[in-house]
Amino acid sequence: MYPCCFPPLATPPTVAAEPLELVLQPLTSDAFREFGEVIQLGSGDEVMPINYGLTERHHGLAKIDVETQGGHGIINIFRSVPIELPFQIKVMERHPLGSQAFMPLSGNPYIIVVAPPGDFEPTAMRAFLAEPNQGVNYARGTWHHYCLALQGVSDFLVVDRAGDGDNCDEIALPLAMQVTIATRPQG
């Protein structure tokens, strides 16, 4: 098994005073704004008819940011196995040279864990429950956990950056800093 990034960052952040537990909240554009964009239909998107009226184009749902240091966009499919809750967050990553977008393909909800760009701060972490019709575009430098599938093996279409430069920082969280996602929200 391989991590996303090599090598992990050498200096872990400061240790939280008490163990942290993240509460899942619904994924909305407003709640996610500081971390990037939510990709979904009907979120104020511009809709235009194309293909002689047989198709609706939902235009500009996310801004892809991949050209730093001569980078270019690529499309991948990631396949994730489902997790069980509670789940321990042991590692976070960020991509300092570009955005990274995930769109679910398998009809399953999934969990998103993020922290703001800059120095990693565990107390600033947030967890969102994404519905099967919601994707996300992580803004450049946003700390995030890898895909956390629920209810079954899940495929994600991923728009990513390729090219020169080190575009992945990963940090392993010491045991005293690990964060737990306890339960799914009610409702």
Neighbours of 19 (CB within 10 A): 11
Tell me if 100 is assigned to some domain: yes
Between 179 and 137, name the one with better pLDDT: 137
Is 145 domain-assigned?
Answer: yes
Residue 71, number of CB atoms within 10 A of its CB? 18
pLDDT in tens, 117-161: 999 998 899 999 999 999 999 999 999 999 999 999 999 999 999
pLDDT at residue number 177: 64
The structural domain count of the chain equals 1
155 within some domain: yes
Query: pLDDT tier at 38 (50, 70, 90 boundaries)?
Result: very high
Identify whether 167 is part of a domain: yes
CATH number for the domain that contains residue 133: 2.60.120.480
Question: Is residue 99, in this structure, part of any structural domain at all?
Answer: yes
Place of tokens 């430098």: 141
Q: Which domain holds residue 156?
A: 20-181
| 66 within some domain | yes
In a domain, 173, yes or no: yes
Residue 186: predicted pLDDT: 43
| All residues at 6 or more sequence positions from 186 whose CB lies less than 8 Å from its CB, including other chains | none
Mean pLDDT of 91-120: 96
Q: Please check whether residue 116 is in contact with residue 144, taking contact to mean a CB–CB distance below 8 angstroms.
A: no
In a domain, 2, yes or no: no
